[in-house]
Structure 1
Amino acid sequence: MAWIQLNTIVEEALAEPLSDALIEIGAVSVTFTETGDQEIFEPEIGTTPIWDQTRVLGLFDAEVNPAEILLALTQWIPQIPPSAYQFEQIEDKDWIREWMDQFKPMQFGQNLWIVPSWLEAPNPNGINLLLDPGLAFGTGTHPTTAMCLKWLDQHPPKDKSVIDYGCGSGILAIAAAKLGADKVSGTDIDPQAITASKDNAQRNRVAIEFNLVKDFSATAADLLIANILAGPLKELASEFERLVKPGGQLVLSGLLASQAPDLIKHYQHYGFNLNQLDTHEDWACLSGYKA
């Protein structure tokens, strides 16, 4: 089946109304992307980030008449002139195969690998995590996740208790379990993340207890890893003080490198001695100990 794609760039205030209009006149999907001039590093929790100038893509069945689409859009949103819209034909493909081909096994440190379930592990003797891309954040492709995985590979938590706070897909908890941790638990505010984490743990044959934050009642651990955002990390300092044993380790990521000095200073008030361990692109990873 062939498709026709509508492509336009609009101001932030018009992105959502245009999306609604496209769906109303028959688009099978609508996508927002950035135009290359603005990056959104840390959106507010619970919000959908939209750029000042947003590219809007609408996908239609190839049988539609572009002239009729333009007429309808002009009536729905007269602020956008017809000349702002471009149409192109999209060839039919095996989209599932195209999507799967994007993903390859990834190595972190010396021994840790993330392997999509439909591929063979490049190193059968390595620590292989079977993890498929999905709706929950965290398949190792983001710099913050990659830095945490690299840290775990370099500091295997053998026989230690570990908390993955903000578990997403459960990737860090699963890595800790496969690297020899004695007890691992994870938590997140998103029910979808808990579901994904449980499914991924089962696929990797590791026993990990995942619960929503409101139901999370873990005791203090030897190691806590939190790959979230700088704002929540700052707010959670007192909670992490409770959840990390004296002498225990703390690894924080999800923050920009420019935010690291302030967060390091903030955590000193809660008994943590943190250092900037690593940076990748614009992101940072901190690690240290609780006094």
Structure 2
Amino acid sequence: MFELSLLCPEHRVEALSDAFDALEALSVSVEDADAQTDAEQALFGEPGMPAPREGWLRSRVTALFATEQAAQEAVRLLQAQDFFEGCSVLGIAAVQEQDWVRLTQSQFDPVEITPDFWIVPTWHELPAAARRSIRLDPGLAFGTGTHPTTRMCLRWIARQCGEGDGGQKLGRVLDYGCGSGILAIGAAKFGAEDIDAVDIDAAAVQATVENAQANDVQLKAGLPDQAQGQYQTVIANILAMPLKVLAPLLCAHVAEGGHLVLAGILERQAQELQEAYAPWLRLQVADSEDGWILMTARR
């Protein structure tokens, strides 16, 4: 395989990406050409929403082709187009053949949540210290334990349960926006028996079902309308914007004496979340990691 790399301004990214698609490129990626320099720019977007911009002021667009001839032909055709103005060819390079499955797997090691609670990919041995574990492989659904928000939610579950009857302490559990189902599975590992895991994405629901089966735990996974009544523990690891919109719905699901646990929130967003939830519950920062915070409230 051969990799063709171009340098282009932001307003040319979409046209080049479409052109590569028409030229049957195997893949196309866009990166900040100024990454790792003082000119690097952050570019964030919300899941399910259009990207705020198509690319960076100086974008590096890379396309993968099966043969060097196909990459060279792509250059010839692109240079003849009006939309190539302002763009330049960085080069064509052979891509070393690799065992991509093994390479991908090597990037995911067991993740420590607490000293005796771990998330372990199926191709790894369980750490000797793991008294509890979740077996979970990276997939399409969010939640592999590598992100701080997931780790903080699981830490909260572990600390809430302590050494006592975890299932009783957690009570009836709702994992709203379950992704891979990792938080619902974590609750089950600590003894919770009545668990609803819901998501707007059908692929996430299916991933949750499969991951629960792989971990030999029982839960009910479905679309959001499956969440009915009140719960002793309501967990939502999403992002600040949808969490604000969902405030009345999530609070309505929290039973008397129950806990609300929210993640996907940046440190600078704490006050706006507190204000959004103030009519129902008093949110407080319970944990923080790498610029992210965990916020909790009790009815």
Query: TM-score with structure 2 length normalisation?
Result: 0.89
Mapped partners of 1:114, 1:242: distance in 2: 31
SS in 2 for 1:64: helix
Q: In the TM superposition, what whole-angstrom CA distance separates every residue of 1:20-67 from its partner, at most 9, and x where no partner exists? A: 211222311112334432223442633246433343220011342544
Mapped partners of 2:111, 2:47: distance in 1: 30
Mapped partners of 2:87, 2:51: distance in 1: 27
Q: Does the C-alpha gap of structure 1 residues 65 and 230 become closer, same or farther in structure 2, counting only changes over 3 Å?
A: closer
Q: Match for residue 134 of structure 1?
A: 139
1:85 positional shift: 3.5
Structure 2, gaps ≥5 residues long: none
Moved more, 43-52 or 5-14: 43-52
Equivalences for 1:1-291 in 2 at 5 Å? Answer: 3-35=1-33, 36=35, 37-43=40-46, 45-48=48-51, 50-53=54-57, 54-64=59-69, 66-76=71-81, 78-81=83-86, 83-123=88-128, 125-156=130-161, 157-159=166-168, 160-213=171-224, 215-270=225-280, 272-290=281-299
Mapped partners of 2:32, 2:217: distance in 1: 39
Q: Given that residues 42 and 229 in structure 1 are in contact (C-alpha distance below 8 angstroms), is that contact kept between their aligned partners in structure 2?
A: no
Mapped partners of 2:181, 2:82: distance in 1: 43
Q: In the TM superposition, what whole-angstrom CA distance separates every residue of 1:60-114 from its partner, at most 9, and x where no partner exists? A: 1134254422111123453345634322211111111111111111110232211
Residue identity opposite 2:267 in structure 1: A
Query: TM-score with structure 1 length normalisation?
Result: 0.91
Mapped partners of 1:269, 1:259: distance in 2: 17
Percent identical residues: 38
Residue identity opposite 1:20 in structure 2: D
Aligned residues: 286
Mapped partners of 1:29, 1:77: distance in 2: 23
Q: Does the C-alpha gap of structure 1 residues 92 and 67 become closer, same or farther in structure 2, counting only changes over 3 Å?
A: same
Q: Given that residues 161 and 221 in structure 1 are in contact (C-alpha distance below 8 angstroms), is that contact kept between their aligned partners in structure 2?
A: yes
Q: Does the C-alpha gap of structure 1 residues 219 and 9 become closer, same or farther in structure 2, counting only changes over 3 Å?
A: farther
Q: Does the C-alpha gap of structure 1 residues 231 and 10 become closer, same or farther in structure 2, counting only changes over 3 Å?
A: same
Mapped partners of 1:144, 1:254: distance in 2: 6
Moved more, 79-88 or 119-128: 79-88
Q: Does the C-alpha gap of structure 1 residues 193 and 76 become closer, same or farther in structure 2, counting only changes over 3 Å?
A: farther
Structure 1, gaps ≥5 residues long: none
Q: Does the C-alpha gap of structure 1 residues 65 and 163 become closer, same or farther in structure 2, counting only changes over 3 Å?
A: closer
Mapped partners of 1:76, 1:153: distance in 2: 58
Moved more, 89-98 or 53-62: 53-62
